[in-house]
């Protein structure tokens, strides 16, 4: 398996020919679709009957109890299994992570014959015992259980990640961050200086977090000790003293205060030439879409037709910045199409384009989003009625670049 860095060629006038609106945006599904080369993207629906039966049983038990168990993601996953839908490798990777993390809770409930326990029901919704070996087999066949450090850090390394409660998980941004860490397949803990952990448990239940991973320890000192005793890899906290004491483990969490938020709204509105009440979102009458165009160091699956092999590419922060600058200088803001069909569309214009320098203070936070440093973000204005209806129906969900790039081999190994 080889890993290649894509770079720009300074001898060529432009590398990105267009930005396409697509249903499967590269930055969300771990692949980019390029017009210059065919991309490779596999889905599977040959999961065992045992996984389908488990999902069906999970839905039945949950409904009988009034649907108290599992997140919406888990309920959707069960319906996908029952309907025989194709699952992407990204979804299969999340299945494996969930089933590994919650296996102990499932087995404990099973051994106690507590078949109404949420840990038991949630496990069934994700395919139960039959789904885990199938998921691991598919990932092995696709080369996604790796030993190479670069790929391991991107795909399969499960970390212990903890969150403070007050000022972190009580905010919208904190909940977004929590969901991102869950989606990565990490093992999640909530560790608070509170004395009462009931509010923590209520939140944890909504996100499918094990109650055994919830700690209300009574003080910040005990919180620090607990984090160290549990060998947590990363802890989010809004208390700078806690973060400083934890060293490299500590992640300073900041959420805009109400005053800052109002100031931020006015600045953002002024930049867009709008009134504060007209600040756009994904669905309002302003018909603007905001999102990442390119994310640095994100592995992208490619297919080499000549050698009939799969490999991965990525863009560095420096390359993305150069591409964004060249794209804007050449006035390519109207160069858009749908699903890389090569047919330019009218009424689709990039009205903002920037490189994210401070993720926690970036304007994308207003929308409840946070992207990595070096991300190329953009706002598109959609004046085309047909295109906007596609966005509302979910037929287009993001941006995907197409163009020509030079390749530099970074790593190559044999599985």
How many CA atoms does the CB half-sphere of 213 hold within 13 Å? 24
User: For residues 260-277, b (16+ Cβ closer than 10 Å) or e, as one string?
Assistant: eeeebbeeebeebeeeee
Q: What number is the average pLDDT over the span 61-69?
A: 89
What Rg do the C-alpha atoms of the chain give, in angstroms?
23
Token pair for 8: 């720009």
Q: Residue 272 pLDDT more than 60?
A: no
Domain boundaries, the chain: 2-41+261-412, 49-141, 165-252
Q: What is the DSSP letter of 186?
A: P
**What is the per-residue pLDDT for 368?**
52
The whole-chain average pLDDT of the chain stands at: 76
Distance CA 143, CA 303 (A): 13
Local structure of 411: helix, strand or coil: strand
Q: Residue 204 pLDDT more than 70?
A: yes
Q: For the chain, percent helix, then strand, then coil, each to nearest 5?
A: 45, 20, 35
The pLDDT confidence band at residue 362, using thresholds 50, 70 and 90, is confident
**What is the per-residue pLDDT for 397?**
75
Q: Residue 341 pLDDT more than 70?
A: yes
Q: What number is the average pLDDT over the span 254-274?
A: 49
Q: Residues 237, 239, 242, 245: is their CA dihedral positive or negative?
A: positive
Whether the Cβ atoms of residue 58 and residue 125 lie closer than 8 Å to each other: yes
**What is the per-residue pLDDT for 276?**
45
**What is the per-residue pLDDT for 142?**
63
Q: At a CB cut-off of 8 Å and minimum separation 6, what does 266 contact?
A: 276
pLDDT over 70, % of the chain:
73
Token pair for 342: 């090569």
Q: What one-character-per-residue DSSP string does 374-390 give?
A: T-EEEEEEE--HHHHHH
**What is the per-residue pLDDT for 297?**
81
Q: Residue 294 pLDDT more than 60?
A: yes
Distance CA 138, CA 145 (A): 10
Q: What number is the average pLDDT over the span 149-162?
A: 55
Q: What number is the average pLDDT over the span 47-62?
A: 94
Range of 57-61, 202-206, 207-211, 285-289 with top mean pLDDT: 57-61
**What is the per-residue pLDDT for 329?**
81
Q: What number is the average pLDDT over the span 210-222?
A: 93
Distance CA 168, CA 253 (A): 7
Distance CA 348, CA 343 (A): 12
User: For residues 99-131, b (16+ Cβ closer than 10 Å) or e, as one string?
Assistant: bebbeebbeebbeeeeeebbbbbbbbbbbbbbb
Q: Residue 200 pLDDT more than 90?
A: yes
**What is the per-residue pLDDT for 411?**
44
């Amino acid at each position: 398996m080889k890993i290649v860095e894509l770079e720009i060629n300074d001898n060529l006038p432009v590398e990105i020919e267009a930005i396409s609106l697509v249903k499967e945006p590269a930055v969300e599904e771990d692949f980019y679709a390029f017009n210059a080369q065919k991309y490779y993207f596999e889905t599977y629906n040959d999961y065992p009957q045992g996984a389908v039966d488990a999902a069906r049983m999970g839905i039945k038990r949950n409904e009988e109890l009034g649907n108290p168990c599992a997140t919406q993601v888990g309920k959707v996953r069960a319906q996908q299994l029952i309907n025989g839908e194709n699952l992407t490798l990204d979804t299969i990777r999340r299945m494996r992570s969930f089933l590994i993390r919650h296996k102990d809770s499932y087995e404990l409930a099973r051994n106690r014959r507590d078949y109404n326990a949420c840990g038991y029901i949630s496990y069934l919704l994700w395919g139960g015992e039959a789904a885990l070996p199938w998921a691991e087999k598919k990932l092995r066949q696709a080369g996604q259980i790796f030993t190479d450090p670069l790929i391991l850090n991107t795909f399969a390394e499960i970390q212990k990640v903890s969150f403070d409660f007050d000022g972190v998980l009580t905010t919208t941004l904190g909940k977004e961050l929590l969901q991102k860490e869950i989606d990565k397949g990490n093992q999640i803990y909530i560790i608070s200086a509170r004395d009462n952990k009931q509010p923590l448990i209520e939140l944890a239940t909504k996100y499918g977090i094990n109650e055994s991973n919830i700690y209300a320890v009574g003080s910040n000192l005990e919180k620090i000790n607990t984090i160290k005793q549990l060998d947590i890899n990363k802890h989010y906290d809004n208390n700078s003293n806690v973060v400083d004491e934890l060293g490299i483990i500590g992640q300073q969490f900041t959420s805009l205060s109400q005053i800052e938020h109002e100031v931020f709204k006015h600045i953002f509105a002024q930049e867009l030439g709008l009134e504060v009440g007209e600040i756009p979102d994904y669905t309002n009458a302003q018909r603007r879409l905001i999102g990442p165009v390119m994310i640095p160091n994100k592995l992208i699956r490619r297919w080499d037709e000549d050698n009939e092999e799969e490999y991965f590419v990525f863009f560095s922060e420096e390359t993305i910045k150069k591409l964004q600058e060249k794209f804007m200088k050449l006035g390519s803001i109207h160069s858009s199409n749908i699903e890389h069909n090569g047919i330019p569309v009218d009424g689709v214009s990039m009205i903002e384009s920037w490189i994210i320098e401070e993720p926690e203070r970036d304007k994308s936070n207003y929308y409840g989003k946070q992207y990595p440093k070096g991300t190329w973000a953009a706002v598109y204005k959609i004046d085309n009625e047909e295109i906007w209806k596609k966005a509302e129906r979910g037929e287009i969900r993001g941006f995907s670049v197409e163009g020509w790039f030079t390749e530099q081999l970074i790593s190559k190994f044999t599985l």
